[in-house]
Amino acid sequence: MGDPSVEPGILERGFILAMRQAFEQAVNLRPVKLYPGVATPIAGLTPERCDLVIVRENTEGAYVGQGSTIHANTPNTVAIQESVNTRQGIERVVEYSFKLAMNRRKKLTLCHKKNILIEAGKLWQDVVNSVATRYPEVNVDYVHVDAMCFHLPVAPEKFDVVVTDNLFGDIITDLGAVIQGGLGVAASGNLNLDGSAPSMFEAIHGSAPDIAGKGWANPVGAILSAAMMLAHLGEKAAGAGN
């Protein structure tokens, strides 16, 4: 699936997005954790300061794969790309995020761009406000996605659980991977929340055929993804390496 001869978009839209939607993998879960002994490009960053989880909505937003082009290949070409946000889709990922925060440091941050994406941003904020009433112990705040790109490398300790939309989550989790030492150590889970279909766990970088056979590939991301899978299946001791 990762063969470089495959035209861009076929793998992503024809397989990855289709699978996430068909299996109702509502949550893309990406821990950002700096492990002892792992080098990070952030000067002075220690593992004690970098331990957060980004919860990315995984089936909607700009990645629904809907759009159109009219007057193609002319000076009047118009490209329309749709972003879809439903209350149901947002509620399930926000509810999951609050439950996760309850089992961590009881802090949840909504990351969006609601000063520009007003309609989508308002819906996300309304859902967070509504769900927050059921979790009074959780401290809730908000950060614009552009501000997140500043705060995350400078002070990752500000965050515990970050919930965000599909596109923003795709971007800031790659930034998080760099902070924790690179794509080679970054794990992820695509979670079906009600058990109606499989979940999937993978290193976030996908395949790397361009470096095949060179001995550069880092297996840590795949190993940590397998540990996430074990914990998801109820084998928490095995997932923790015990």
Looking up tokens 């990406």 gives 30
Q: Which one from 113, 126, 210, 236 is the annotated catalytic residue?
A: 113
Contacts of 47 (CB under 8 A, 6+ apart): 33, 34, 35, 36
Active site residue 160: no
Active site residue 135: no
Q: Which one from 51, 63, 96, 160 is the annotated catalytic residue?
A: 63
Which whole-number Å values give the CA distances from 28 to 54, 93, 221, 230, in the listed order? 8, 9, 15, 16
Q: What percent of the chain has pLDDT over 70?
A: 97
49: left (phi over 0), alpha (psi -120 to 50) or beta: alpha
What are the tens digits of pLDDT across the range 91-124?
A: 999 999 999 999 999 999 999 999 999 999 999 9
Q: 43 in helix, strand or coil?
A: coil
Contacts of 121 (CB under 8 A, 6+ apart): 112, 113, 114, 115
What average pLDDT score do residues 129-147 get?
A: 98
Active site residue 35: no
Q: Which one from 35, 107, 114, 174 is the annotated catalytic residue?
A: 174
What are the tens digits of pLDDT across the range 172-186?
A: 999 999 999 998 899
What are the tens digits of pLDDT across the range 53-97?
A: 999 999 999 988 788 999 999 999 999 999 999 999 999 999 999
What average pLDDT score do residues 214-231 get?
A: 90
Q: What is the pLDDT of residue 19?
A: 86
Active site residue 113: yes
Active site residue 174: yes
* CA 194 to chain CA mean position, Å: 19
